[in-house]
Chain A
Amino acid sequence: MNKFLLPLGGFALLAIVLAIGVKRSPEKSTIPSPLIGRPAPAFALASLTDGNRIVRSSDLRGRPYLLNVWGTWCVQCRAEHAMLLEVQASKLAPLIGLNWKDEDDQALEWLARLGNPYDTVLVDRDGRTAIDWGVYGAPETFLVSAAGIVTYKHVGALTREVWAREFIPRLKP
């Protein structure tokens, strides 16, 4: 055998390993949240539209809901906004917005200008609640079951594909 073929053979093996690695890497990019399968962290936050109204996590029990973390400073949030309007239109579950480290007037202006996809927007100005939920960047979208258990978390902008693949099956058993 031609010994000069050995490097090519070695590279072929390496390419196979890399190909399998690339194929599997999307699985790795979803950062598993320790919250999955656990009760959603409790919160009591003011509503953005009605500062006197306090919404508690216990108020939301009884049916599944979506919690979307966003801010007007977040570029990706702007990108997913249209998708959130579609989610709202689907009427599959109430969509709760967690307005994270933002200014109230800017957030209101954003919703007035682009349309409000949320059933309720909660204000998390100091980021306390986001820390409890293990948020490490916006946007993130959580799915909480009727029993108050976190069943799914998506990091990054919500896309139609992710919505159809991950959320809809979990919402329509």
Chain B
Amino acid sequence: MIPELGHFALILALLLAGLQAFFGIAGPQLARDRWAAAVAPAVAGQFVMILTSMACLAYAFVTFDFSVRYVAENSNSALPLMYRIAAIWGAHEGSLLLWIFLLGCWTLAVAIGSRRLPPRFAARVLGVLGLISFGFLLFTLLTSNPFLRLEPPAPDGRDLNPLLQDPALAIHPPMLYTGYVGFAVAFAFAGAAMLEGRLDQAWARWTRPWTTAAWAFLSGGIALGSWWAYYELGWGGYWFWDPVENASFMPWLVGTALIHSLAVTDKRGLFKSWTLLLAILAFSLSLLGTFLVRSGVLVSVHSFAADPARGVFILIFLCVIIGGALALYAWRAPLLKSQAGFELGARESFLLFNNILLVIAAATVFGGTMAPLIADTLGLPTLSVGAPYFNPTFLLPMLPLLALAAIGMHAGWKRGRLSEKRRGLLATLCIAVAVALAVAFGVFSTTRVLTPVGLALGSWIVLSSLIEPVDRWRRKLTLSRSVLGMTIAHIGLGVFVIAISSVESFTLERDAALARGESAKLGAYEFRFDNLTPIQGPNYDGVRGEIAVQRNGKPVVVMHPEKRRYWVQNSVMTEAGIHTRWGSDLFVALGEDLGAGRWSIRAQVRPLIDFIWIGAFIMGLGGAVAASDKRYRAATSVADASLSSAAKEPVV
């Protein structure tokens, strides 16, 4: 009964989304304000229905209702409660429902937050969001209904994919999707502006907090996924350029370009058509990512439930949403004129380069991700694109971007002078280079050129970000939330760059075949394989190794890597032993049983690796702080939203 209720609620949500889309788009277009007024109730109703639907699916999982096919396929009577909840988004059908639910949350938030906006504009934004929701609800109901019954019911379930039975992965999809779906809001604002045929600085100010918030979630979501891959897949890497990872990374890169471009549109009324295009692209790439993962077009270690019928539906949906938006763009964008100009060296020019370089970076990732598919389409031999392509092509635009970031945040708007900041910049650059050279050649004696370059750029960004806050603090001035957020995010970027440089340059790694009592040396560390004991979990059994680590003869830690066999799916999972000290990791994973008591054991020392994720989280935190600036929530009257791009001297 309960699953049918969830199914029914989903159908009602579809109808309400249809109403929301129709009234929201047609109402303002035909100047029928009473139609537009019906949009907000439709949003609220749709949200309640989706929430009901989610709750019904959760109920089916919690109560072990194996008569529901999705529950039977993704849980088991031995699965702990926490993972039964996480199993809701453990496979295709439920993760779509999660997508829809999060879109519902964003839409509700926009409906509440847009009460100060001009009513027709707000109706259009919600109308576009309704259209997207309608498409996803229809997709779920037609091809991926999680509420279908199994006749007769299964005696027990097939269990959740053991890879997903992990705390980080339980929260990774909701966080990542919140970011993905959040770009729908920026897209909807862009759509509304194009439908209205008007885009001004006020528009950018309304769009900024939503975009920044979505970007912050996406940053956190990607970092969580990378962290999970690091300790759960047992290979010790943090990024694999897998199509599914790229699918989340491309919207992030374009989203990063978008938040910078929005700053220019907000402050100076420039880059209008470019900002629009980025807003369309960021969400299009999110949709494309969904398509690539779900349709089975690209083969990836992450892809589940590939189904061509779903592929056809998503493709049609992509054509309607993205094709429609781009057609509207081709029609409306030529009407947008920017009057003001700027000098080379002004902040606008730095942000222009930022945008160009980020879009190039996104394009290289896009090319590498799509190349196997294009080769396949043309009938060429199977092509596999990996780190040897991605690493250099991605670094090429990134290195200048990092240098520009350190300088650009001190450039003034409009005029190309760094004025009094020049001395601070030079001083921080000198310190950064000195530190980088000392670490790269003094402490580690590396031979790679990129090591000191990466370290210097990372440290420079951190130090340079601190100039302004320190200066303000000395003069007893306060920082606005948006400047503080920017500073935090840039510091996060610097930390991230330092960490990656360190891991890529100074990592020690060794695979050794060890019997009990034997040890392997790795730099100053010695890993001794002491013992192996059987273990028993709620839905798995396996072995746990005991590996004692010494540094220069002094004991450091005893590590316990595990190898688990999950019963129902009969799959083997590696739980690496990780010991963190000052953000650097000792990493040990159990490989294969080589017979005669010998095991292959992978040992790694990865200096500063945790700062990769810490850096990414700091970036996300910066975004959250910036999005909370009161300036974006200041009351905006229609009169204030003038078309003028007259250069008011801005604060930021």
Residues of A bordering B, CB below 8 Å: 2, 4-5, 7-8, 11-12, 14-15, 17-26, 28-29, 72-75, 78, 101, 127
Contact = CB atoms under 8 A, between A and B. Distances in A.
B330 A7 contact: yes
Contacts of A18: 291, 297, 315, 318, 373
Most-contacted residue by chain A among B284, B308, B327, B374 (CB, 10 A): B308
Interface stretch (B150-158, B450-458, B493-501, B510-518): B150-158
Interface string B626-639: 00000000000000
B273 interface: yes
A17 B379 CA distance: 12
Contacts of B297: 18, 21-22, 25
A2 B334 contact: yes
A8 B374 contact: no
Given A12-B323, A17-B377, A101-B570, 14 more contacts: A2-B330, A4-B333, A15-B315, A18-B297, A18-B318, A21-B298, A22-B308, A22-B312, A24-B377, A26-B308, A28-B296, A73-B156, A75-B69, A75-B150
Contact of B377 (A4, A21, A101, A127): A21
Contact of B277 (A7, A29, A72): A7
Interface string B565-593: 00010100000000000000000000000
Contact of B295 (A17, A20, A22, A78): A22
A15 B319 contact: yes
A12 to B, nearest CB: 7
A42 to B, nearest CB: 23
Contacts of A8: 323, 326-327, 329-330
B318 A25 contact: no
Nearest to A127: B570
Contacts of A101: 570
Nearest to B326: A8
A72 B156 CA distance: 10
Interface of A is mostly: helix
12 contacts: A2-B334, A7-B277, A7-B326, A7-B329, A8-B326, A8-B327, A11-B284, A19-B315, A21-B373, A21-B376, A23-B308, A25-B311
A22 B311 contact: yes
A25 to B, nearest CB: 5
A15 B296 contact: no
A23 B309 CA distance: 10
Nearest to B322: A11
A25 B292 CA distance: 11
B352 interface: no
Interface of B is mostly: helix
A25 B308 contact: yes
Contacts of A7: 277, 280-281, 326, 329-330
A23 B373 CA distance: 12
B466 interface: no
Contacts of A127: 570
B377 A20 contact: yes
Given A11-B322, A28-B299, A22 B334 contact: no
Interface in B283-333: 284, 291, 295-299, 306, 308, 311-312, 315, 318-319, 322-323, 326-327, 329-330, 333
Contacts of A14: 370
6 nearest CB pairs, A to B = A22-B311, A21-B297, A8-B326, A4-B333, A5-B330, A20-B377
Contacts of A5: 330
Contacts of A25: 295-297, 306, 308, 311
A78 B315 contact: no
A4 B291 contact: no
A72 B154 CA distance: 9
A7 B295 CA distance: 23
B512 to A, nearest CB: 28
B170 interface: no
A4 B334 contact: yes
A164 B94 CA distance: 33
A112 to B, nearest CB: 15
Contacts of B273: 4
A26 B311 CA distance: 10
A78 B69 CA distance: 12
Contacts of B374: 17
A75 B72 contact: yes
A73 B159 CA distance: 11
Contacts of B322: 11
A29 B296 contact: yes
Most-contacted residue by chain A among B154, B297, B374 (CB, 10 A): B297
Contacts of A12: 323
B73 interface: yes
Contacts of B318: 15, 18
B96 to A, nearest CB: 18
Contacts of B306: 25, 29
A4 B333 CA distance: 7
A73 B568 contact: yes
B300 to A, nearest CB: 12
A128 B120 CA distance: 68
A78 B66 CA distance: 13
A28 to B, nearest CB: 7
Nearest to A21: B297
B156 A11 contact: no
A7 B281 CA distance: 9
Contacts of B308: 22-23, 25-26, 29
Nearest to A23: B308
Contacts of A20: 377
Contacts of A26: 308
Contacts of B277: 7
Contact of B154 (A4, A21, A78): A78
B627 to A, nearest CB: 27
Contacts of B284: 11
Contacts of B323: 8, 11-12, 15
Contacts of B296: 25, 28-29
Contacts of B155: 72-73
Contacts of A23: 308
A78 B73 CA distance: 13
Contacts of B329: 4, 7-8
Contacts of B291: 18
A75 B155 CA distance: 9
Nearest to B152: A78
Given A25-B295, A25-B297, A75 B154 contact: yes
Contacts of A4: 273, 329-330, 333-334
A149 B402 CA distance: 61
Contacts of A21: 295, 297-298, 311, 373, 376-377
Contacts of A74: 158
A27 to B, nearest CB: 10
Contacts of B152: 78
Contacts of B295: 21-22, 25
